[in-house]
A and B are shown apart, each in its own frame.
Chain A
Amino acid sequence: AQSVAQPEDQVNVAEGNPLTVKCTYSVSGNPYLFWYVQYPNRGLQFLLKYITGDNLVKGSYGFEAEFNKSQTSFHLKKPSALVSDSALYFCAVRAMDSSYKLIFGSGTRLLVRP
């Protein structure tokens, strides 16, 4: 069965510092991986995805993620955090049956302090 794990409930970082939100996956075959962000009482916004190709994926709002097949990881990164980046972040893997559903991790709350 496919799954993703986000080992950190919360990540705290100072504004201007680099941030990393961790995600590991378990799939058979090649994974389709996604990152989403959620602000309070809002839907999920798509940030970036890895399908194939370059292991470093660039996305919205200056975020990027590095796909590492040997470590089965897909960590979300940003070189310089903003207070406005504070939100709930979800990693997801796509099921490759006819449902094409997204299987989400438990989410990581990012808190960027001024």
Chain B
Amino acid sequence: SQTIHQWPATLVQPVGSPLSLECTVEGTSNPNLYWYRQAAGRGLQLLFYSVGIGQISSEVPQNLSASRPQDRQFILSSKKLLLSDSGFYLCAWTPIWEGKGSTEAFFGQGTRLTVV
């Protein structure tokens, strides 16, 4: 069966420090991968998605970047965190096979990032 791992669960970082959040998927190959951010416990904003290794699409301009160094690994990074980067970050994946549009996305457990 497929599983998604996201870590760390919580993170407190000072302003100006770097960030690296990691997400890995097991039990599948060539998934579409996504990073979402949730502010104030409500709406979900798509930050990045990837349809393959090294292929990253950014949805909104911001202080963050993403990379996909391996097929099932998705990393969210920042060189210098801002207070506004605080939030709940969620990684998700969608299977790639026939009828892929009909398959639900699966989410990790999230990372609570607090920038102080």
| A interface with B by C-beta (< 8 Å) | 32, 34, 36, 40-46, 49, 51, 88, 90, 94, 96, 98-107
Contacts and interface: CB of A to CB of B under 8 A. Distances in A.
Task: Return the 10 tightest CB-CB contacts between A and B, nearest first.
Answer: A43-B107, A44-B107, A51-B102, A104-B44, A43-B109, A46-B104, A106-B43, A43-B110, A99-B49, A107-B42
Contact of A32 (B6, B43, B101, B108): B101
Nearest to B91: A43
Contact of A101 (B6, B46, B106): B46
B32 A100 contact: yes
B101 A94 contact: yes
A61 B105 CA distance: 18
A102 B105 contact: yes
B110 A42 contact: yes
Contact of A41 (B34, B44, B112): B112
A43 B34 contact: no
B100 interface: yes
A44 B46 CA distance: 14
Interface string B88-116: 10101010000011101111111010000
Interface residues of B, number: 26
7 contacts: A32-B101, A41-B88, A41-B110, A46-B104, A96-B101, A99-B57, A107-B43
B61 interface: no
Contacts of A51: 102
Contacts of A103: 46
Contacts of B104: 34, 46, 49
B50 to A, nearest CB: 9
